[in-house]
């Protein structure tokens, strides 16, 4: 039982804030709704007034009654529903095309997809998660956003660090945490110990001069500033970097981290800090490069100048960055699954059709109203002579049209269809 002389951690935190009462009233939510806009899939439409998320160039606050699932933009991958605070760690990580980046707690994929889109079609994103069901959701979200640089691996982080130390330019540790619910001091301490162990394992993956972002969606100082301080105290080869982001608060210890507060920014409570591996820290850098698979098919039918590799595994055809194609790690998903079959029997996967369209594959343009009807499963009279890819006038990738006798439908499985979209 907690000592009467020791207040619960949430109350102790509130007592240290000038607006502590407002914090306690807001910490349970609800929080401002937000989305993130895909850089290559056109402009969101029909959302009404949206406000820029100050710390995220691709983030927008929406109205509280805007359910993303009601919008065609969500199903086309034009937007990704993601809390505004959740967008901050990747902004601090600043992934660059060509880099190797590891997301050690990747599922369900909000930050992984954000990293993958920043990498574009160059580099490698390694996505780790301990849960098989969560990895399946992660793989699906990467496919929905058309990320071609990712490898989803079941390899535990500590094993990955043992076998491939110093392999990454950047690592994200969005750690499991206590969230914003009331916890006992012992619960918070146990979680902080788990976080510190994970941070130590992940740090071994970073090359000299590389960077690591540690983040949580909890306000508890014990899981935030104190975890970072404990790590730095025992790792002299690392340093915290001073971070500033528009609209954000500094951390509570003046160590260079960033805080978001529900009563101030309107988001869930959040903490993030960027750490740097110092030059000269003795790390044996072990590459993730493996065997490059033999070429499978050419993408020239859709994309004459794609930078992606294509390869075949049995009846399945994949496309991805060279680094993803040759990554030595075991994987449950890798690059983009383009489709199955050969020649005239080859069938393009719906999400890969969208990925090709966003990369410039030739596509017929349909109106927003017709796109909604197609997504609902209707057949339309369209002025085309043969199956073709289709997009909306605003740039959203629909997919592949199929049909006969001038009647065309969108080739997507019934589980993806929705009626009444905006």
Active site members: 217
Alpha-carbon gap, residue 123 to 99, rounded angstroms: 5
Question: Is residue 319 a contact partner of residue 338, using CB atoms and an 8 Å limit?
Answer: yes
19: preceding bond cis by omega (within 30 degrees): no
How far apart, in whole angstroms, are the C-alpha atoms of residue 363 and residue 358?
10
Residue 150 and residue 127 in contact, taking contact as beta carbons nearer than 8 Å: yes
CB atoms within 10 A of CB 241: 14
Give SS3 for 249.
strand
121 neighbors 302 (Cβ within 8 angstroms)? no
Backbone angles phi, psi at 111, to 5 degrees: -75, -35
User: How is residue 146 annotated by DSSP?
Assistant: T
262 DSSP 8-state letter: T
State the DSSP string of 39-59: TTS----S--S-EE-TT-TTE
Burial class for 315, CB neighbours closer than 10 Å (0-12, 13-18, 19+): exposed
- Asked if 125 and 149 touch (Cβ cutoff 8 Å), the reply is yes
Sequence-ordered list of residues with C-beta below 8 angstroms from that of 118, at least 6 positions apart, any chain: 90, 94, 95, 96, 97
257-263: long-range contacts (C-beta < 8 A, 24 or more apart)? 257/224, 257/225, 257/228, 258/88, 258/92, 259/224, 260/84, 260/85, 260/88, 261/23, 261/26, 261/219, 262/23, 262/26, 262/27, 262/29, 262/31, 262/180, 263/19, 263/22, 263/23, 263/25, 263/26, 263/27
Structure token digits, residue 203:
């740090």
Element at 391 (helix H, strand E): strand 388-392
Burial of 314 (0-12, 13-18, 19+ CB in 10 A): exposed
Dihedral of the CA atoms 202, 205, 207, 211 (nearest 10)?
-30
């Amino acid at each position: 039982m907690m000592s009467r002389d020791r207040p619960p951690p949430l109350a102790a935190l509130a007592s240290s804030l000038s607006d502590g009462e407002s914090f306690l009233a807001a910490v349970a939510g609800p929080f401002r709704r937000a989305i993130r806009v895909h850089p290559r899939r056109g402009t969101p439409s029909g959302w009404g007034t949206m406000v820029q998320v100050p710390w995220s160039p691709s983030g927008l606050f929406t109205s509280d009654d805007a359910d993303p699932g009601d919008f065609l933009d969500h199903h086309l991958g034009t937007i990704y529903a993601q809390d505004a605070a959740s967008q901050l760690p990747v902004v601090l990580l600043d992934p660059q095309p060509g880099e190797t980046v590891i997301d050690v707690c990747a599922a369900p994929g909000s930050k992984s997809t954000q990293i993958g889109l920043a990498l574009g079609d160059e580099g490698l994103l390694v996505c780790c998660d301990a849960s098989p069901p969560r990895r399946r959701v992660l793989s699906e979200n990467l496919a929905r956003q058309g990320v071609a640089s990712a490898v989803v691996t079941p390899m535990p982080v500590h094993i990955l660090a043992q076998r491939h130390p110093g392999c990454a330019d950047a690592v994200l540790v969005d750690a499991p945490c206590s969230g914003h619910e009331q916890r006992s001091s012992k619960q918070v301490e146990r979680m902080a110990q788990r976080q510190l162990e994970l941070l130590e394992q992940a740090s071994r993956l970073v090359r000299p001069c590389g960077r690591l972002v540690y983040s949580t969606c909890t306000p508890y100082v014990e899981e935030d500033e104190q975890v970072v301080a404990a790590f730095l105290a025992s790792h002299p080869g690392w340093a915290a970097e001073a971070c500033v982001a528009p609209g954000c608060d500094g951390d509570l210890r003046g160590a260079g981290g960033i805080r978001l507060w529900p009563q101030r920014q309107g988001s869930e409570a959040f903490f993030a800090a960027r750490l740097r591996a110092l030059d000269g820290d003795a790390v044996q850098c072990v590459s993730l490069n493996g065997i490059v698979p033999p070429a499978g098919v050419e993408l020239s039918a859709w994309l004459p100048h794609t930078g992606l590799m294509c390869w075949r595994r049995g009846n399945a055809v994949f496309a991805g960055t060279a680094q993803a194609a040759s990554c030595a790690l075991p994987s449950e998903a890798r690059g983009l699954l383009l489709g199955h079959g050969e020649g005239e029997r080859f069938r393009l996967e719906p999400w890969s059709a969208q990925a090709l369209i966003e990369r410039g594959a030739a596509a017929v343009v349909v109106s927003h109203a017709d796109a909604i009807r197609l997504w609902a499963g209707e057949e339309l009279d369209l002025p085309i002579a043969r199956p073709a890819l289709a997009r909306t006038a605003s740039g959203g990738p629909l997919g592949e049209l199929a049909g006969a006798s001038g009647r065309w439908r969108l080739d997507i499985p019934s589980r993806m269809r929705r009626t009444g979209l905006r």
